[in-house]
Amino acid sequence: MDELIARVTGALGIDAGVAQQAIGLVLSFLQKQAPEAEFGKIIEALPGAQDAMDVAPSEAGGGLMGALGGLMGGGGAGGLMGLAGQLQGLGLGMTDIQGLGEQFFTYAKEQAGEETVQQVASKIPGLDRFI
């Protein structure tokens, strides 16, 4: 997880603690949205993933994007907007969120394999656009 945190901090110019929380939010989102078997493969391939999830902020808050995500329901695009709202709550802008996604999924593909990441993305409506 240290390597992924370093990639995110370098790419986005953010604090390592914020990067770890942001990664944890992404992982928590995937845990809720993806089938357990596919998500399990990602967790196994990313040592320290559970620690990142443990330090991620709770789902409360999230600003406008979080509120819109809540109105649209927990899954699919609403879920992605809710995640964006949570990430904005950490101080990330939309460009930062896109960069986080690129860094996270590139690293996940390197560690868990492209096929595993694609399987997860195909199960979450809208996510495959970011992979």
Give 128's DSSP letter: G
- Whether the pLDDT of residue 63 is over 90: the answer is no
- In the chain, beta strands by DSSP E: none
The whole-number average pLDDT for the span 79-92 is 93
User: Where is average pLDDT lowest: 38-42, 75-79, 109-113?
Assistant: 75-79
- The domain limits of the chain are 2-59+94-125
Residue 59's pLDDT band (cuts 50, 70, 90): low
* More confidently predicted of 75 and 42: 42
Taking every pair of C-alpha atoms in the chain, what is the biggest distance, in angstroms?
Answer: 36
Residues in Cβ contact with 60 at an 8 Å cutoff, skipping those fewer than 6 apart: none
> Does 130 have pLDDT greater than 90?
no
Q: How far apart are CA 36 and CA 39, in angstroms?
A: 5
Q: Kindly tell me if the per-residue pLDDT of 25 is higher than 90.
A: yes
The reported pLDDT for the residue numbered 127 is 86
